[in-house]
Structure 1
């Protein structure tokens, strides 16, 4: 049976590829809804972008709910320098004919998780964890009702990408991330340690464009725009494609390897704000609260993404 999932996301080109891959996989993934969060760009852009992706793929049946417009305690930090002013700069995407639903995204999370049998919903978190942290504060019972949370965020061996110590998603709202990691929910983390291995080389981007469908052309245009920043930053042959690792993990977990660890979030230090303190080697007695994915097969990853995007209009 298809996994029932909710996306919590701030699209973002890499978020877009993660969502498109799921939309192309209805036999394995049943998307109950998309909840947007401010992160890569402000909330009005992330919500519009989610709607545009559904319009692109003729999947206007999937509900979109706007979530929080700012972190729990801090001012919003965004990443237009990577994603462009709209967050989906690059392709010429259709304007949405549908609109976001009236219910707030946090309320949608709580109500949907409570309405389904315990252990059936997987929450796929691609952005800052504000919505999830707030939902768990309002309704602590939902943590135990989730099957799991699969999230892109953090870094251990690869450290940070927005500061020397912190990855962007966790840095934007470390207080929310701390709530989530202390919630008792089953969590799998796709950190920079693995996403930095998944590099969109020119040939891999071209493969999306060669599919001959509008979704493949859109993905190629998205990545052609956003990846330039990281190619210049790292000097690699391609830029890391982060968020689709979450969808790929749901579809083919055997692509990846990791281990159970303790993860704590730094919230107090101005120098290491948002650092994911991963006890990978078990040097403390802190209880294990997450599966930390450290490596993956990049060829299998891009083969999966390309094959799925080919199924879309």
Structure 2
């Protein structure tokens, strides 16, 4: 049976690739996309999610707009990374498919209540505001979630937005703290693994060489996205953070990590949003997340390129 998922997202070029990989994979049944404010404000993330669906020819996927601000803080965005639209790079047409008239949080709640318990996986690719809001409003759904596989946080790599914090967690640390404390099985794709999923020149040219609208758009997204990382890190290419979530659902065997305790810092000015990952088991706190640390990058890009060719 196909893995039934909801992708919660703030597209973002890497979010777009993660969504496209899911849409190209018959092992995944995407029940809906829920947009959240993050990389750019909500009106743009909900627009971008629909643009990606139309790029893939999948206007059947319902898209819902969710929370436009974190639970307790002002919104911080990342146009300096993703461009003013959040999806700068390719010249994609404005979406014609309509947003659904339900709020994303209502869709998450209603879906988890309607589907058999333990059959829906949540895949957050941005701040965890929508997920935590759903859990606050409907705590009965928490036990109905099969698993949460998310992109966020860091350990050895520490932060990409502040010295201590990765962007997704930093934007809404209170939401992240509630999700990590929920008791739901968690698989976390931190910067430690996503920075190993580098789109080098040859890898990007292989995607461009697909010769399809999807291949061209993804290559152009990466062309734009990598300028920030090349300048900041001096790396060989742009890290594809969010597609690690989708790839894990498809081929978990190409990833490795540890089941550890992860707590979220919500108070300190210096380390706000830090994922305090007890990698060495020194705290005595019970493990609550599988924190991924490595992947087979060649297998990752083989999977990505083969699947994008199907769209």
Alignment TM-score > 0.5, same fold: yes
After TM superposition, the score normalised by the length of structure 1 is: 0.98
Superposition pairs of residues 203-222 of structure 1, within 5 angstroms: 203-222=202-221
| CA-to-aligned-CA distance 1:136-186 (integer Å, 9 cap, x gap) | 111112221111000000000110000010000000000000000011111
In the TM superposition, 1:26-175 aligns within 5 A as 27-175=26-174
CA distance in 2, matches of 1:141, 1:226: 39
TM, length-normalised to structure 2: 0.99
Per the TM alignment, residue 99 of structure 1 is displaced from its structure 2 partner at its CA by 1.0
- Please list every run of 5 or more consecutive structure 1 residues that lacks an aligned counterpart in the other structure: none
How far off is 1:131 after superposition?
Answer: 0.4
Number of the residue aligned with 2:23: 23
Does the Cα contact within 8 Å between 1:55 and 1:95 map onto a contact in 2? Answer: no
Over 3 Å off, 4+ runs: none
Task: Tell me how far apart the structure 2 counterparts of residues 196 and 39 of structure 1 sit (CA, whole Å).
Answer: 20
2:222 aligned residue: 223
CA distance in 1, matches of 2:179, 2:91: 36
**Secondary structure of 1:291's partner?**
strand
Q: Residues of 2 paired with 1:10 and 1:111: CA distance?
A: 21
Report if aligned partners of 1:36, 1:43 keep a CA contact under 8 Å in 2: yes
Contact 1:178–1:264 (CA<8 Å) still a contact in 2? yes
For residue 269 of structure 1, report the CA deviation from its aligned partner.
0.5
d(CA) in 1 for partners of 2:295, 2:82? 25
Q: Give the distance between the partners of 1:71 and 1:38, measured in 2 at CA.
A: 8
1:94 is displaced (CA, Å) by 2.3
2:239 maps to what in 1? 240
2: CA distance between counterparts of 1:77 and 1:95? 25
Q: Which runs of 5+ in 2 are unaligned?
A: none
Once residues 142 and 283 of structure 1 are traced to their aligned partners in structure 2, the CA distance between those partners, rounded to angstroms, is 32
The answer as to 2:17 corresponding to 1:13 is no
Question: Shift in Å at residue 227 of structure 1?
Answer: 1.1
Looking at structure 1, the residues matched to 265 and 280 of structure 2 have their Cα atoms a distance apart, in angstroms, of 19
